[in-house]
Amino acid sequence: KTTDLLGIRANDGNGLGFFDVDRQVAARRAAWYSAATILQRAIALEEEVKARTRDLQKTLDELNTANQKLAAASAVAEEANRAKSRFVAAASHDVRQPLNAAKLFLCSMNASILGSQHCAQLRDVQLIHTYCNVITKHVAHKLTLIVVE
């Protein structure tokens, strides 16, 4: 029987004295390769986990930055909305006050003309009063549209 012992051939005529080194070496090599493979895979998995962790951290940082920008934009929009509300309130007052004054003046004129013989003037005063009411309704409608936007 011939066995290969680390590259040296030896002849064992009676089959005694030498044991089969090839199998032991092969088994040890297989175990070593298996352990080395497992270690390499573990190292590769650890690197993959580190890479994914970096990617997740980058995504989280981007998300935090986007949330900060969104919060700032939201604050700007809220301030703009408050400014618009203040404007609409002021505009409503500034537009309606003279119209209401004109309507009150027309009502007093209407009352003073009713007792006299000035029918043409009475019609004119009533027509102007009607126009003031129409303008007031249109202004109210336009201001409502501004508030809705």
Amino acid identity of residue 13, one-letter, is: G
pLDDT digits (tens, 9 = 90+) for 49-67: 999 999 999 999 999 999 9
Q: Which residues of 33-70 are buried (b: 16+ CB within 10 A; e: fewer)?
A: eeeeeeeeeeeeeeeeeeeeeeeeeeeeeeeeeeeeee
Q: CA–CA separation, 60 vs 91, rounded Å? A: 46
Tokens matching residue 67: 């949330």
Looking at the whole model, is its pTM more than 0.75?
no
> Which of the given ranges, 41-50, 86-95, 100-109, has the highest pLDDT on average?
41-50
Closest to 124 in 3D by CA, of 110, 134, 111: 110
Crossing angle of helices 21-114 and 119-148, rounded to 10°: 170
pLDDT, greater one: 44 or 140: 44
- Given a cut of 90, is residue 95 above it in pLDDT? no
